Structure 1
Amino acid sequence: MQQTFWKKWSIAYLSLLQERGKWRAPKRNLQPGDIVLLKEDNITSLRWPLGRVDRPIKGDDGVVQVAIIQTASALVKKAITKIAVLPIQTTSMESLRLQTGGACSQQNVN
């Protein structure tokens, strides 16, 4: 009876504790313009090429499976498992304008 209880408890309860959250929470699909690193097997992660998502390609389930990436030298088609999305928010140049004037412009330069 003790073994039966242990078996049922370990299968039902312990497996819930080891469940991976990344499969339970929805993940954002790749969007055009996302900045990514292209994972390569034969080189270190510091040398992975940088690229921008040109066109994501969705599978039958509506989730992006493959993306066409624009790198410095060419367009590359990669599976989503070989892409690392960088947490960079792209902004327009309008939001990057600097204010003119202020204390720095009023200082005397000798």
Structure 2
Amino acid sequence: MPTTTQSRRGRTNTLTVRRLSDECVSTLKRAAKANNRSMESEVRSILEEFTAEWIIQCELKHANFFSEVRRFMEEEGIEGFDESEFMLPERGIDDGRPTVEFDAA
């Protein structure tokens, strides 16, 4: 089943997938019909959605949230924050908080 998408350079790429089970093809056909698309368009949509999610997950694994917040605030000209506002406090066994107990009820 060929799948085609527009690349950034205006080229069209083709991907051929062989040996799909009848059940998989049937499911794709049902999904395409439910979304009022051709099966090719449905597969393209599935691949594009998967790829976008995968890219986001990879970026999140390598991103430091607090560094990104600091960078954003600097770019936006937001002032009045202190680096210590984003630091996590040191925690120890005896930090004065009550012990939490869970009952096995």
User: If the length of structure 2 is used for normalisation, what is the TM-score?
Assistant: 0.26
Structure with bigger strand share is 1
Larger RCO: 1 or 2 (CA < 8 Å, sep 6+):
1
Structure with bigger helix share is 2
